C-alpha cells in the first residue's frame, strides 16, 4: 500500500482534511491522507520493484553491450580518459584523477569499483589486448593487488583509440548522466570487435555472462568471411581460416575437440577445457625437470604452486621431489622429478588434482540493441550472431559518420558560395562596411544589398564574410577558395551517392565496402603484429594414462589423533596421546595407528560415517586442522567415534570362508537402533 505525501501549510503543519487520520508510531506523529491512498497488492509491488532492480543491474552494471563489448563502468572510464586526452602518445596521469572524474561525472558507485575495473583493463593477464596502459604496480598473476590509485598512473593504449575513434562525429547516441548535467555515449563507436577480443565476465540478477577472449586476427577474418557470405553457417566460422577457438592472455592449451568447440559457438554456452603447457627442462643430477610455461586463464599461479607443494610435502606424488617458481616476466615453474619418473602419469595426476587443468564455462550473454536506444535487451548469442550484430553496428556508425560529414560539408559549401558570390563585388562590400556603425549594421546593409531571395547572401554567409581576414581577399586566396569549393562539392556528391545505396547486399561497393576496408586495416595494423599471434594452442589429446592414486602413496605407518572438539592431525608416531599438543579444554577422542594407504572411518553425532585415507589427514605437530576442512558437516554435528580400517588393526575380526557375505575386514557396517543398515 503506497502512501502519498500530505500537503503542508506555511507554518510547517499538515493540512488535515476530512479524510485524514492521525497516528502515532514510536513517539512520532504522522498524518495519513486516506482519500489519496493508493492500494497495491504486496505481491505486485514487490515483483515490480525487484524487476526494476534486476533490470538496473543487468543493463547498467553487469552485462556488456554486444556492440562495443564494454560494461557501463568500463565505457565511462574510457570516455573520461578520452575527454582528458590521455591517448597512447600522451603522458601518463594519476589513476586517482581518472577515477575521481569518472565517479563525479558519470559513475557514482564508489571509487573502489571504478579503480578495480580500470586495473583489470590494464592487466595483460586479464585482457587479451589491454585497453589501458598502466604505469606502476597493477597486480600480478600471483594474485597480488594493485597499488593504491594515488601511486599508479595510466593512459589509453593504441587499440583503445580504435574503440573511441569517430566519437566526435556524432556516430553514436548520447544520453544524460546520472544528474542530468552532462552527456555520455550510450555505446562507443568501436572499430574493434571488443566483446570477442577481450571477452567479459559478470554476474547480474538471475543471469550471468562469461565470454572468453579471442584472437583479433581470427575475428577479423571471420568478419570478412561473414561479409562475403551472410548465409554462412555457424560451424563454418569455426575453422582454421577464421575463429579457431578462444585465445587466452595467459596461453595454455585447449583440449576440446573441434566438434565440441563448434557446439559451444552455436549455442553460446559450454565448457572449454584448458590446461597449462609443459615442456622438458633437462636433467640435473639424479633428477629431471619439467617446466610449466603457461597456466590456465584465471588461475592464480601462486595458488597452483602451493597446491603442488602440498602434494610434494604430503608425499601423495612421490615422483615429484620439488617444485620451484622461477618466473620473471614470463611464467616458469620447474617440477623436479625423479629420474625414472613417468612424466605422463605425473602430469595426469596434476591435471586431476591441481588447477593445472581447469574449465572455462562459456556463457555468451550480452545486451543487444532494442527499441529504446539507451537500454539493451539481454540475450545469449552464438558466434555468428555476435559477429553480425557488430557488422550492423559498424554500418550504422559509418552511416552516421557520413551524414555528419555531409552536414559539415553543406555548411562549409554554403559559406564558400557566399565568398565566391562577393568576389566580384569586393569594393562595394568594403564601402558598405566602412560606412556602417557596427557589425550588425553592416550585416543588415549587406543582406539588403544582396538579398537571399534573389540568390544573394543569408545571415550565416554574411557573418562569415564579416569574420573573414583581409588577406583572404587576395586573388590567390580566392583561387584556393574556389578549388576548395570544387573539391567539397565532389565529396558531398560522393557521400550522397553512398547514403542512397541499398545496404542489403554486403558485397556492394558502398558503405559495406567502407566497413570491409576498416576491418582489413585493423587486421593489418594489429592482427599481424607479433603480439597478435595466437597464444593458446588447440590440441586434441588422446586417452590419459591409467593410474591409481594409491600407487603413488608411499606405504608408511602413522598415527591419527582426533580430539573431542573436532581437531584432527597426522604424525609418524604418537607414543603418549595425553602429551600431544591440544587446545585448552580439549581432550583426545581417539588415537589410531594405520598405514598411509589405509582408510579411516569417522562417525558423527548425526549418524553419518565419513571416510578418508590416512594420507589425506594433514600432518601437523601443532593442534591440527578442524575436521570440517575435510568434510562438509552440518551445524552442531560433531565426531563421536573413529575406527581405523587398516587390516592390521582389524585382524581380530576373523573371516569365515563358509560365510563370504560377511563384512570384509577392511569395511565397516553401520546399524541404527531401528534396524536400518
Q: What confidence tens digit (pLDDT) does each residue in 157-199 have? A: 999 999 999 999 999 999 999 999 999 999 999 999 999 999 9
Among residues 310, 393, 295, 384, which one has the least CA distance to residue 353?
310
Q: How many CB atoms lie within 10 A of CB 509?
A: 11
| Confidence bin at 660 (pLDDT 50/70/90) | low
Q: Is the pLDDT of residue 426 over 50?
A: yes
In angstroms, the CA 233 to CA 210 distance is: 23
Please give the pLDDT value at position 9: 44
Residue 359 clears pLDDT 80, i.e. is over it: yes
Pairwise CA distance, residues 410 & 494, whole Å:
13
Instruction: Name the least confident of 459-468, 585-594, 623-632.
Output: 459-468
C-alpha span between 238 and 246 (Å, rounded): 11
d(CA 523, CA 538): 22
Q: State the average pLDDT over residues 430-447.
A: 89
Q: Are 210 and 204 in contact (CB under 8 A)?
A: no
The pLDDT tens digits of the residues spanning 393-415 come to 999 999 999 999 999 999 999 99
pLDDT value at position 13? 47
Q: Give the rounded distance of the alpha carbon of 385 from its chain centre.
A: 19
Q: What's the distance, CA 216 to chain centroid?
A: 17
* pLDDT of 49: 83
Q: Provide the annotated active-site residues.
A: 151
Structural domain boundaries in the chain:
1-39, 70-189, 277-355, 397-508, 555-644
Q: What's residue 86's pLDDT?
A: 96
Region 489-503: mean pLDDT is 93
- 397-508: CATH homologous superfamily? Topoisomerase, domain 3 (1.10.268.10)
The helix/strand/coil state of 65 is: strand
pLDDT number for residue 12: 46
**For position 314, what pLDDT does the model report?**
81
Looking at residue 16, its pLDDT comes to 46
- Locate 414 and state its grid cell: 554554403
| Mean pLDDT value across residues 32-61 | 80
What pLDDT digit, counting tens, does each position of 303-339 carry? 999 999 998 988 888 889 999 999 988 999 999 999 8
**For residues 282-292, average pLDDT:** 89
Q: Show Cβ contacts of residue 171 under 8 Å, excluding neighbours closer than 6 positions.
A: 189, 397, 400, 401, 404
| Apex 438 CA angle, 436 and 442, nearest 5 | 50
Average pLDDT, the chain: 88
Contact indicator for 559, 649 with CB cutoff of 8 Å: no
For residue 354, the number of C-alpha atoms closer than 13 Å in the C-beta half-sphere is 27
- The three state secondary structure string of 478-494 is HHHHHHHHHHHHHHHHH
- Whether 20 shows a pLDDT value over 80: the answer reads no
* Overall average pLDDT of the 429-453 stretch: 88
Place of cell 616476466: 329
From 233-247, 249-263, 452-466, 649-663, the region with the lowest mean pLDDT: 649-663
**pLDDT score of 25:** 53
**Phi/psi class of residue 315: alpha, beta or left (left: φ > 0; alpha: ψ in -120 to 50)?**
left
Residue 5 has pLDDT above 70, yes or no: no
Cell numbers at residue 603, please? Answer: 562417525
Choices 2.60.40.10, 3.50.50.60, 3.90.199.10, 3.30.200.20: CATH for 70-189 = 3.90.199.10
Which has the closest alpha carbon to 378: 200, 607, 227, 548?
A: 200
The grid coordinates of residue 166 equal: 569517430
Q: Residue 14: is its pLDDT beyond 60?
A: no
Q: How many CB atoms lie within 10 A of CB 575?
A: 7
User: Which fold is adopted by the domain 277-355?
Assistant: Gyrase A; domain 2 (3.30.1360)
For the beta sheet containing 132-135, the strands, ordered from the edge strand earlier in sequence to the opposite edge, are 93-94, 153-156, 132-135
The model's confidence at residue 235, banded by pLDDT at 50, 70 and 90, is very high
Amino acid at each position: 500500500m503506497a502512501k502519498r505525501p500530505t500537503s503542508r501549510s506555511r507554518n510547517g503543519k499538515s493540512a488535515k482534511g476530512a479524510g485524514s487520520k492521525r497516528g502515532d508510531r514510536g513517539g512520532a506523529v504522522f498524518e495519513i491522507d486516506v482519500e489519496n491512498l493508493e492500494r497495491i497488492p504486496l505481491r505486485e509491488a514487490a515483483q515490480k520493484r525487484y524487476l526494476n532492480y534486476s533490470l538496473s543491474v543487468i543493463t547498467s552494471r553487469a552485462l556488456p553491450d554486444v556492440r562495443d563489448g564494454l560494461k557501463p563502468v568500463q565505457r565511462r572510464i574510457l570516455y573520461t580518459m578520452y575527454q582528458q586526452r590521455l591517448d597512447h602518445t600522451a603522458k601518463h596521469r594519476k589513476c586517482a584523477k581518472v577515477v575521481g572524474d569518472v565517479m563525479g561525472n558519470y559513475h557514482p558507485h564508489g571509487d573502489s569499483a571504478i579503480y578495480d575495473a580500470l586495473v583489470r583493463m590494464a592487466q595483460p593477464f586479464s585482457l587479451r589486448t589491454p585497453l589501458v596502459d598502466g604505469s606502476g604496480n597493477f597486480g600480478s598473476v600471483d594474485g597480488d593487488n594493485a597499488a593504491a590509485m594515488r601511486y599508479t598512473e595510466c593512459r589509453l593504449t593504441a587499440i583503445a583509440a580504435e574503440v573511441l575513434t569517430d566519437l566526435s562525429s556524432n556516430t553514436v547516441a548520447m544520453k544524460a548522466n546520472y544528474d542530468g548535467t552532462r552527456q555520455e555515449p550510450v555505446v562507443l563507436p568501436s572499430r574493434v570487435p571488443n566483446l570477442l577480443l577481450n571477452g567479459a565476465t559478470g554476474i547480474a540478477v538471475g543471469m550471468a555472462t562469461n565470454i572468453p577472449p579471442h584472437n583479433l586476427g581470427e575475428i577479423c577474418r571471420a568478419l570478412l568471411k561473414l561479409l562475403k557470405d551472410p548465409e554462412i553457417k555457424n560451424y563454418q566460422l569455426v575453422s582454421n581460416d577464421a575463429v579457431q577457438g578462444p585465445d587466452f592472455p595467459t596461453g595454455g592449451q585447449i583440449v576440446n575437440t573441434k566438434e565440441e568447440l563448434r557446439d559451444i559457438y552455436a549455442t553460446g554456452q559450454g565448457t572449454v577445457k584448458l590446461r597449462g603447457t609443459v615442456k622438458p627442462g633437462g636433467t640435473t643430477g639424479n633428477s629431471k625437470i619439467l617446466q610449466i610455461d603457461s597456466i590456465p586463464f584465471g588461475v592464480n599461479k601462486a595458488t597452483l604452486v602451493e597446491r603442488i607443494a602440498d602434494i610434494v610435502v604430503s608425499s601423495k606424488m612421490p615422483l615429484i621431489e620439488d617444485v620451484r617458481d622461477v618466473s620473471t616476466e614470463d611464467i616458469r615453474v620447474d617440477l623436479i622429478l625423479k629420474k625414472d619418473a613417468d612424466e605422463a602419469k605425473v602430469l595426469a595426476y596434476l591435471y586431476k588434482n591441481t588447477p593445472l587443468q581447469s574449465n572455462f564455462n562459456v556463457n555468451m550473454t550480452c545486451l543487444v540493441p532494442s527499441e529504446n536506444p539507451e537500454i539493451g535487451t539481454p540475450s545469449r548469442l552464438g558466434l555468428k550472431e555476435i559477429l553480425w550484430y557488430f557488422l550492423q553496428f559498424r554500418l550504422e556508425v559509418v552511416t552516421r559518420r557520413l551524414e555528419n560529414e555531409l552536414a559539415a560539408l553543406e555548411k562549409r559549401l554554403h559559406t564558400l558560395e557566399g565568398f565566391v558570390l562577393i568576389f566580384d563585388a569586393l569594393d562595394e562590400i568594403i564601402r558598405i562596411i566602412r560606412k556602417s556603425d557596427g557589425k550588425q549594421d553592416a550585416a543588415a546593409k549587406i543582406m539588403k544589398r544582396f538579398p537571399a531571395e534573389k540568390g544573394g547572401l543569408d545571415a550565416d554567409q554574411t557573418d562569415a564574410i564579416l569574420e573573414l581576414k583581409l588577406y583572404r581577399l587576395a586573388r590567390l586566396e580566392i583561387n584556393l577558395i574556389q578549388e576548395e569549393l570544387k573539391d567539397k562539392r565532389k565529396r558531398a556528391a560522393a557521400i550522397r551517392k553512398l547514403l542512397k545505396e541499398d545496404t542489403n547486399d554486403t558485397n556492394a561497393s558502398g558503405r559495406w565496402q567502407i566497413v570491409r576496408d576498416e576491418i582489413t586495416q585493423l587486421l593489418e595494423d594489429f592482427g599481424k603484429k607479433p603480439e597478435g599471434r595466437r597464444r593458446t594452442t588447440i590440441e586434441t589429446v588422446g586417452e590419459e594414462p591409467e593410474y591409481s592414486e594409491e600407487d603413488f602413496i608411499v606405504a608408511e605407518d602413522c598415527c591419527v589423533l582426533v580430539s573431542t572438539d573436532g581437531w584432527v592431525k597426522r604424525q609418524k608416531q604418537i607414543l603418549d596421546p595425553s602429551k600431544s599438543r591440544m587446545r585448552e579444554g580439549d581432550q583426545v577422542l581417539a588415537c589410531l595407528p594405520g598405514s598411509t594407504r589405509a582408510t579411516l572411518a569417522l562417525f558423527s553425532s548425526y549418524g553419518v560415517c565419513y571416510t578418508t585415507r590416512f594420507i589425506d589427514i594433514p600432518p601437523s605437530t601443532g593442534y591440527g586442522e578442524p575436521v570440517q576442512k575435510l568434510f562438509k558437516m552440518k551445524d552442531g554435528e560433531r565426531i563421536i567415534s573413529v575406527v581405523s580400517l587398516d587390516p592390521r588393526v582389524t585382524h581380530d575380526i576373523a573371516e569365515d570362508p563358509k560365510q563370504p557375505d560377511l563384512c570384509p575386514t577392511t569395511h565397516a557396517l553401520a546399524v541404527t537402533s531401528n534396524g536400518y543398515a
